[in-house]
Structures are given as structure tokens and as C-alpha cells.
Structure 1
Amino acid sequence: MTHYVYYNDTNGDILGISPNKIDELSRYKFTKIASDVVAPFLEFKESHIKWSVDLMKKFGGVNIKWGVTENLVMDGEKLICTPGGSDANIIALNKNTGQLIWKSKGNGETSAYCSPLIVKYAGKSIILTHTKDHFLGVDAKDGKLLWKYSWPNRWSVHPNTPLFKDGEIFISSGYGKGSAMLKLSADGNSVKELWTNESLDCQLGGFVTVDGKIYGAGSNSRKWVCLDWKTGKELGSADMGKQGNIIYADGLLYCYSESGYVILNEPKTDGYNEISKFKVPYGEKHHWAHLVIADKKLYVRHGTSIMVYSLAAN
């Protein structure tokens, strides 16, 4: 099957079509690992592939059940990705040429659908990401594994990008795994566990932090949970039909439930205060695509349909 990426302006008009495998935008250039494990780099305006690397053939990448998928991150000229092989487990490529800068054995596990986060701490750029059974901290300078934290779950699925604040790292995975807060050491070379919580076991919808609280949806409980950042205590919850994804903008929580509703909530110290909601009118199959807000517009994708809603005051 051939896949394509459509380039649309904000009015929905198609500007161009290119072969798939993209995501992170940087001066019209962007990239993504897709299930065939090829990382291309495209020029947005000209819609042609500038370079392409087969991560399986060149770096011994290992595909996984639903296909290796992650949004790549950049650290200067370095493009970070996770082939998941035993030797080149995590690699850094030159974003302009595709040439290898460094490779890391990591913890020798397959990738786990996680889009990494790079944080600046203790004079380092640290890559925070999940692989099959562990959460890792890797030095973005040379690929050195700084530390690992055991974090297995039923299907080895950990797609949620972690949260980071003041040396503390929040992670959450679904299928009953739950959440954990980790604390980096002063030099960033180790972590310790501060707390764990089972009620927020986020499967794939992500989570946000607002005013010392963490908001997100649990997969086993099917409830939307509010946790205290410092203690992990559940402060409140809400029933929005099913789990889903969440973003925060202009003091409000935008929640997209797998039940097919977009729900606007005010974040409260004890949970969620529903303001309004609407049923997504178009599309098919799963309500899994994450919401996006840009230029006072809310973008909602459901299957092959994209809808745009104005958030501007009348």
C-alpha cells in the first residue's frame, strides 16, 4: 500500500502531495519514522526527498507489532531516532545529510512508539524516551546511556512523551501500568523514584500539567484523572465516556474522548469542570488523532476527515 502526506493551507486547500514518513517541521523540512522504518527528509516547498535512510538495513533496526512510529526530535544538527537494534539502538543523524553522528546501544531493547523529549539539565542535553521495558536517559552529545528505569507493561507500548519540570520527570503508560514521578540527580547521571500512581495509566492520549496538577485519561479505569504533581495523590476525576487525548491552551483543557466528543473543561484543583462539548460530525473508525490548536483554530482529525473550529471570540 502506498501512503501519501497532503500539505494543506489553514483553509484546507491542498498545496501538494508527497510520499509519507514525516512529522517534525523545521524550516519547511520535517521527518518521521513510519512503519516501514525509513527516515526521509523532505523539502516542504519543493515536495521531494532530500535524503533517505533505511534504518532496518543500515542500522539493524527491529520492527515491532504496530510498526516503528515516533516523532523525531532535533538537538542542533542532530536528528534523534530509535531503530531499536542491539548495536544501533538509538542514533543521531545529521539532519541535513542523513549521515550518522553517533549510535548508542541504549538498553538493547526494541523501540516502544515513544516520541522522545530532549531537556537541558546540569549542562547536558538529555534524551528522555521509552524502549520496550525501560525508561531511559541518554546524553544527546554522544549517545551515552546515563541511566535506566524499569517500566514494563503488558504490550510494551509506551507512546506518551514525558513531562519535565525542575529536574522532575513524569511518565505514564497504559494497560494498567500507571504513572511515576522521577527525580534527576544534581549531575543528571541518575534518577530516583519519588512516587507511583495506578489510576492514571495513560495509553496513548498524552497528559498536561497546569498549576502543579497533572491531567490525563486512564486506560483501564476509563476516567479522566487529576493528580498532584508533588505527591501523586489523585485529587479528582471525571467521566467523559472513554479515554482520550488532551491539550491545554488559554487556561482551558481541550479533551477528545474516544467516545467521539470534544469536551472543553476548566481545570480545577479537584479535577475538571465541563464547560461545553460537541460530537465530532465526520470521519470513521477510532477517535485517536490528537487535537491541535494554532492561530485561534482547533484542528480535529477523525480518520480521513479534518475539521477546523474557530476559537476566536465573536
Structure 2
Amino acid sequence: MLYLATKHELSAVAADPHEPQASLAGGYWPQWRGPNRDNCSTEKGLLDEWPAEGPPRLWTAAGLGEGIASVSVAEGLIFTVGYQDDSELVVALHEATGDLAWATRIGPAVAESPLMRWLVQRVPTVDGERLYAFTAGGDLICLRSLDGKELWRKSYTADFGAQRPIFGFGDFPLVDEDWLICTPAGPKSQVVALDKKTGAVVWSTPVEGGEARVEDYGATVMIDLGGTPIEGGLRQYVTSVNNQLTGIAAQDGRMLWTYTKPGNFTVSPHTPVVRGNRVFVSRGYNESMVLKLAREGNRVTVEEEFPWKSSVDRFQDSNVLVGEHLFNSRAPGILACDRWPSREGAWRARAPGSGIASFSYADGCLYLLGGIGPSRTRSLSPS
């Protein structure tokens, strides 16, 4: 099932119109950029071709409030965040029907930046019976998935000393077994591991130099360098915060490496793309590169392997690696495919419609959303 959000409504569209509506519940997209934060869906058996008139709309839910947040889907429910009157709410809908399951106030509504709409999606992270939401005011909140009851709350300002970034607070908490990894970017708490059940601090990583400056809005990802921890690998969290890309040891929060090449950091919304020991990162305007990590005992070295000047769309976090090809959006409306990891250009194509195009990958296709609504392409080869 596809979910299309406007400023005030959410619609469900059947990716396979032949499936009965009752069987369409069961989607799994529990956090920003999907189950593995790689912008890839695990769904299979989708249609090779859509009907000429497009897939049927199954339902539309109105009255969810105002906002730009995407959705998380798990356990037969859909979760999102929006403003209603003077409140910010987490809303849960039944996936099969769009009916309201519950709504919980998590904080006051915050006026948007006068410069532009908030870049911050604040998509909830769902982990079984719990979900983790982030408010516009900088509070991380744990709610019960079944009914929205608040279980615990942490303030990035009061608890971690963070200051509001120019385009508003935002974070995408990452669940790793019993821990919840977040990035307050406070002076003593650049990255923090919390007990996911209680919110208690397990460890925190201070900012180098003691001064935090946050203009990064990408999500944190996890790497097991040299195999899983059971195999003797070194697990780390890779995140873009405080104007640098950083690798943090999962065991104790110590900083393993940093990448601090100067660039335009007015905004950096891109989540690192990881495969093996290589990381693709796009930072601000016209700065992107493939980094190569190498383990030396308990240390990690980082090498700039394939630097590249490009205008990867700085307002879309759509980068996706499929096979040996990296897909992203460039100037508004341009879809690009590059060979991995060399970044040699394979092809460029204009997406249908006008304006910015965003996309995700599922079952051999890129699903695009542009100026004319959803479309899709099967051009996933060098040709």
C-alpha cells in the first residue's frame, strides 16, 4: 500500500489493485527511510504495471492536523505527527480503514520558521509495543503503541543542554536492541544512548571542543565493521551532527572517527548510505563523497575515496543504493543514477511532473512522487 500525504489529509492507494482491501493491512515501515533506514521497502509481489487510470484510492483520512511529517507503519497501525489548533499531536490510524485509533497531545504547536517550512519531518519510530516521537519543542517522548499513553519523556534543552537549530528541532531515534540512540547535540551529549523502556541515560558522547552547532537533519545509521559483535566486529553509529560526520562506538559511546572536510553546512538533511565499509554522505550544497572505513584494532580510520562535486537535492533524503547503483535526485525534477562506489554517471532522467521529486524503492521499482502525483519507473539498470 502507498500513503500520500497533503498538508491536511492522508490517503491510502493500493500498490496492487487486485489485492482485497482486508489483506492490505500488514505493511512495515516503522521509521524514517524504512525498516533498515536505507529507503527500501521489504514488500514483494507488487504489480509490474499499474492500470492506465492509476491505482485505486482506498480511503482518505482528514482532520489529522497540519504538518509535513511522513508516516510510520507497523502492527496494523499508521502513525504520524501534526498540529491541531494550539497542540502538537501523535495520531494513530487503522491501516486497513483509515479510522482513528487514538490521538495524544505531545506538546504545544510551534510557529514555523519565517524563512521556510520546517525541514524537520519528526516521523515516529515504532518498536513493537512502544513508539518514540519528537516534538517541535525538542522533547523526545515514548508512547505506548496500542493506545498512545505516555511512558516517559526527555527534554533536549533541559536534560542535554541543546539549543534549537535554525530550522527547528528534529531527530530520528534509532532502536538498537535495548537501547534508543538519539542525537541531542548538547555540549556534553552529542550522541546519547537511552534505555528504551525507561529513558535512563546509558552513555553520552560530548561534542569535541565543547560547543554544539546543529544544522544537520539526517538520521543515524548503524554499521558492524568487520562483522557482527558476536563475530568480533566493531558496532558503531554513524551520524551527521555538529558539522561533521562521526562514528560512535556502540559499546560505550566513545568517538571512533570524524570527517570534518569544510563545506556549506547551511542544511544537511541526508542520511548516510552504508554498504560494507563504505559510506556515502552528502553535506549541504554541492558536497558529496564516498568514504572508506578501515578498522585497526579498536580504532577506525576514514579515507575520502571518491570525492565528488554535485548538486544532490538538499531538501530530499531520498538517496537509495540498489545493487551496484546509487539513485538520488539532483536539480528539481532530475533523477540520477551513478555506479557504486565510483560515482561514475550511468544516466539522468527527468521525473514526471514538475518541481522536486522524492522516491523510495520496492520490489524492483522506484516509486516517485512529483508534481503530478505518484508514478514509478523500472529503469534500475545502467541503461
C-alpha deviations, 1:213-253, integer Å up to 9, x for none? 000102x4652111111211111111123333221111111
The partner residue of 2:133 within 11, 32, 48 is 32
Q: What is the letter of the counterpart of residue 119 of structure 1?
A: I
Partners of 1:132 and 1:217 lie apart in 2 by 25
The change in CA–CA distance for 1:173 and 1:166 in structure 2 (over 3 A counts) is same
- Unpaired runs of 5+ residues, structure 2, are 1-85, 107-121, 227-232
For residue 339 of structure 2, what is the aligned residue in structure 1?
228
Alignment of 1:118-133 (within 5 A): 118-122=222-226, 123-133=233-243
The change in CA–CA distance for 1:267 and 1:199 in structure 2 (over 3 A counts) is farther
Q: What is the letter of the counterpart of residue 4 of structure 1?
A: L
Is it true that 1:159 corresponds to 2:297 in the alignment? Answer: no
The partner residue of 1:116 within 216, 220, 234 is 220
For residue 306 of structure 1, what is the aligned residue in structure 2?
none
The change in CA–CA distance for 1:244 and 1:18 in structure 2 (over 3 A counts) is same
For residue 142 of structure 1, what is the aligned residue in structure 2?
252
- Unpaired runs of 5+ residues, structure 1, are 272-314
Q: Match of 2:159, SS?
A: helix
Q: Match of 1:59, SS?
A: coil
Q: Match of 1:189, SS?
A: strand
CA contact (8 A) 1:106 1:145 kept: no
The change in CA–CA distance for 1:199 and 1:266 in structure 2 (over 3 A counts) is farther
Alpha-carbon offset, residue 78 of structure 1: 1.4
C-alpha deviations, 1:8-34, integer Å up to 9, x for none? 011211101012476111112111333
CA contact (8 A) 1:86 1:105 kept: yes
The change in CA–CA distance for 1:260 and 1:199 in structure 2 (over 3 A counts) is farther
The change in CA–CA distance for 1:106 and 1:244 in structure 2 (over 3 A counts) is farther
For residue 254 of structure 1, what is the aligned residue in structure 2?
367
CA RMSD of aligned residues (A): 2.0
Is it true that 1:51 corresponds to 2:191 in the alignment? Answer: no
Q: What is the letter of the counterpart of residue 356 of structure 2?
A: Q
Q: What is the letter of the counterpart of residue 3 of structure 1?
A: E
Alpha-carbon offset, residue 135 of structure 1: 0.8
Partners of 2:325 and 2:153 lie apart in 1 by 41
The partner residue of 2:295 within 172, 186, 192 is 186
The change in CA–CA distance for 1:85 and 1:63 in structure 2 (over 3 A counts) is same
CA contact (8 A) 1:172 1:202 kept: no
For residue 89 of structure 2, what is the aligned residue in structure 1?
4
For residue 375 of structure 2, what is the aligned residue in structure 1?
263
Q: What is the letter of the counterpart of residue 223 of structure 1?
A: I
Alpha-carbon offset, residue 81 of structure 1: 0.9
Partners of 1:126 and 1:165 lie apart in 2 by 14
Alpha-carbon offset, residue 144 of structure 1: 0.7
For residue 83 of structure 1, what is the aligned residue in structure 2?
184
Alpha-carbon offset, residue 124 of structure 1: 2.0
For residue 216 of structure 1, what is the aligned residue in structure 2?
328
> TM-score, normalization: structure 2?
0.66
For residue 169 of structure 1, what is the aligned residue in structure 2?
279
CA contact (8 A) 1:247 1:254 kept: yes
The change in CA–CA distance for 1:156 and 1:105 in structure 2 (over 3 A counts) is farther
- Farther off after superposition, 189-198 or 18-27: 18-27
Alpha-carbon offset, residue 151 of structure 1: 4.8
CA contact (8 A) 2:265 2:284 kept: no
For residue 284 of structure 1, what is the aligned residue in structure 2?
none
Q: What is the letter of the counterpart of residue 308 of structure 2?
A: N
CA contact (8 A) 1:90 1:105 kept: yes
Partners of 1:118 and 1:43 lie apart in 2 by 25
Partners of 1:223 and 1:22 lie apart in 2 by 26
C-alpha deviations, 1:158-189, integer Å up to 9, x for none? 22221111211111244333x21111103461
CA contact (8 A) 2:264 2:283 kept: no
CA contact (8 A) 1:106 1:138 kept: no
Alpha-carbon offset, residue 260 of structure 1: 4.4
CA contact (8 A) 1:69 1:113 kept: yes
The change in CA–CA distance for 1:40 and 1:152 in structure 2 (over 3 A counts) is farther
Greater relative contact order, per chain length (Cα 8 Å cut-off, separation 6+): 2
For residue 100 of structure 2, what is the aligned residue in structure 1?
14
Q: What is the letter of the counterpart of residue 247 of structure 1?
A: S
